[in-house]
């Protein structure tokens, strides 16, 4: 018996083998289907998908055998991966000096072997798709061609497995970073909002004292300090709300009454029946109620903040298509100028200088609305007439 040669690129070849994370894994149907098909086409009792590890031949799929590894030093596949031929064939191992006294012949009565190296896109021979028989034989040209084609399919499965692992690792990393950023945002918002509140309080106390003792002084700069603190606090609140809203996308879909969502928002914003109107109630099948609540809440809150009319109101309506739930939020406010509508959902973009309380908007709320809607498989549109009001219409996939 002649021990198989070690490939010249063995170190990198082994790195490639391990990168697929297939060693010591359980049987998988996709690979077992290929060995079963190979055995049937080539009419052999044994068909294997092998991976050559440092000192062993790991059998990822083993049709016709009840074990999943053997020593590399006695493997036929060790010879196959260093062969320059597209398919390595031993028609009668008992008459080949490389194998005639191989333990596999005496123990399993092996006479015939054919193996196609599994060569990955980087050119490394990872293992083989191979067949064994107990009698000497030959393969037809059609069987040889089929064996080579099936070996390429095995490599394709390896590559798919590798890409899925990379995507899974990337997703895990992104999720970890998202959670860290979310935690960071929460901590920063808490740690920043407290001193900002102190700045505002101290500024107001300072103004009151100056007004009493020095009424002639211009206190405009202190007003600027308070406005800046309020603006920064609004940005912090907006960013934190945005990250919390993203987490809502993980909630499961369920059956929900639209009236339940409506009443939750009505309670949160302390609205009356005259201010907040539900045009019609309906049962929403298979919907992410938490995300829909956040979207409508943002739109309704904005509608009231920028509505300067004495009898301001907002109404909610619902319709449906074959593929989407469709919601509309309509107010009787001052409307939004046409030239400002295209950029309305851009981050940090606002349609108005300030709301009716004098607070400047951050442009985060509507950006969050668009982000949530798009990730729920829909889109959001705006229809507005100056002086008459605005309607936001958004859809989400059923």
- Dist CA 365 CA 347 (whole Å): 9
Find tokens 């990872």 and name the residue: 126
Asked if residue 364 has pLDDT above 80, the reply is no
State residue 125's pLDDT score: 97
pLDDT tens for each residue of 219-228:
777 777 776 6
Q: Which residue, 264, 285, 288, is CA-closest to 276?
A: 264
CA distances from 300 to 13, 213, 230 (A): 61, 44, 22
Mean pLDDT of the 147-163 span: 96
pLDDT tens for each residue of 102-138:
888 888 889 999 999 999 999 999 999 999 999 999 9
- Dist CA 234 CA 236 (whole Å): 5
CB atoms within 10 A of CB 311: 8
**Tally of CA atoms within 13 A in the half-sphere of 208 that contains its CB:** 6
State residue 382's pLDDT score: 93
pLDDT tens for each residue of 318-335:
999 999 999 999 999 888
pLDDT tens for each residue of 166-187:
898 888 887 787 677 667 666 6
State residue 89's pLDDT score: 97
User: Could you tell me which residue, 209 or 59, shows the higher pLDDT?
Assistant: 59
Asked if residue 95 has pLDDT above 70, the reply is yes
Cα 234 to chain centroid, rounded: 30
State residue 329's pLDDT score: 95
- Dist CA 116 CA 129 (whole Å): 5
In angstroms, how far is the first alpha carbon of the chain from the final one? 66
State residue 229's pLDDT score: 67
- Dist CA 30 CA 200 (whole Å): 65
Q: What is the mean pLDDT of the chain?
A: 87
State residue 361's pLDDT score: 64
* Ordered structural domains, the chain, with CATH: 10-164 (3.30.450.40), 251-398 (3.30.565.10)
**Sign (positive or negative) of CA dihedral 100, 106, 107, 111:** positive
């Amino acid at each position: 018996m002649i021990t198989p040669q070690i490939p010249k690129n063995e170190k990198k070849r082994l790195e490639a083998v391990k990168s697929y994370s297939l060693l010591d894994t359980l049987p998988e149907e996709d690979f077992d289907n290929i060995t079963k098909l190979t055995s049937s086409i080539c009419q052999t009792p044994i068909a294997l998908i092998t991976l050559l590890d440092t000192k062993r031949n790991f059998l990822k799929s083993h049709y016709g055998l009840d074990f999943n590894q053997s020593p590399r030093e006695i493997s036929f596949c060790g010879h196959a991966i260093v062969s320059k031929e597209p398919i390595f064939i031993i028609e009668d191992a008992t008459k080949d000096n490389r194998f005639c006294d191989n333990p596999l012949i005496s123990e399993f009565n092996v006479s015939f072997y054919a193996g196609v190296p599994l060569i990955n896109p980087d050119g490394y021979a990872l293992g083989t798709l191979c067949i064994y028989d107990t009698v000497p034989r030959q393969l037809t040209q059609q069987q040889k061609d089929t064996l080579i084609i099936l070996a390429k399919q095995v490599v394709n499965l390896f590559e798919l497995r590798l890409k899925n692992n990379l995507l899974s690792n990337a997703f895990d990393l992104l999720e970890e970073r998202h959670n860290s950023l979310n935690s960071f945002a929460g901590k920063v918002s808490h740690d920043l909002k407290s001193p900002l509140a102190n700045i505002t309080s101290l500024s107001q106390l300072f103004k009151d004292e100056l007004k009493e003792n020095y009424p002639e002084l211009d206190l405009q700069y202190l007003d600027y300090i308070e406005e800046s603190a309020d603006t920064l606090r609004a940005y912090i609140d907006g960013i934190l709300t945005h990250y919390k809203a993203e987490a809502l996308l993980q909630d499961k879909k369920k059956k929900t009454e639209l009236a339940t969502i409506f009443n939750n928002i009505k309670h949160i914003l302390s609205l009356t029946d005259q201010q907040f109107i539900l045009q019609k109630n309906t049962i929403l099948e298979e919907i992410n109620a938490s995300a829909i609540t956040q979207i409508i809440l943002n739109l309704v809150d904005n509608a009231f903040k920028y509505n300067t009319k004495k009898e301001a109101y907002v109404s909610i309506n619902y319709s449906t298509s074959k593929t989407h739930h469709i919601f509309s939020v309509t107010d009787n406010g001052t409307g939004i100028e046409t030239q400002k509508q295209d950029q309305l959902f851009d981050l940090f973009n606002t349609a108005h200088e300030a709301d009716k309380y004098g607070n400047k908007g951050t442009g985060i709320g509507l950006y969050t609305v668009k982000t949530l809607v798009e990730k729920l498989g829909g889109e959001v549109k705006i229809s507005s007439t100056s002086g008459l009001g605005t309607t936001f219409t958004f859809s989400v996939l059923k």
